[in-house]
Amino acid sequence: MDGQGRETAPAANLEYRIAGLEARLAAGELGELGMRIEMHGAAVTVRGTVPSADCREELLRAVGQELAGLAVHTDILIAEAAPPDHSEDLT
């Protein structure tokens, strides 16, 4: 922000780019994932859980395209929904 409480151009541009990414994710198949996209100074953090490695790759591709040139940190977990391959021993 400048001395009069207005946002500076880089901060406003970053918020605009984050909003663009959120809109892109919401419009596509990834919209239901509920990813959290947060601005931390000049960097962006994207975190959440996806159902597969393919979804993670698709998400990272979209993030890379929308936020190219920015410092982006990701914390994307893959929640495999496959059934266990053996029984659990409860002794």
With bands split at pLDDT 50, 70 and 90, how would you rate the model's confidence at 6?
very low
Q: What is the mean pLDDT of residues 21-37?
A: 82
- Indicate the DSSP class of residue 5: S
**46: helix, strand or coil:** strand
Measured CA distances, 13 to 7, 16, 27 (Å): 10, 5, 21
What kind of fold does domain 9-78 have according to CATH? Alpha-Beta Plaits (3.30.70)
Instruction: Copy the structure tokens of residue 9.
Output: 């151009």
Does the pLDDT at position 73 exceed 50? yes
Q: Where are the domains of the chain?
A: 9-78
Token pair 């190219």 in the structure block, residue: 68
Q: What is the pLDDT of residues 31-69, one digit of tens each?
A: 766 789 999 888 999 999 988 889 899 999 999 999 999
Q: What is the pLDDT of residue 32?
A: 65
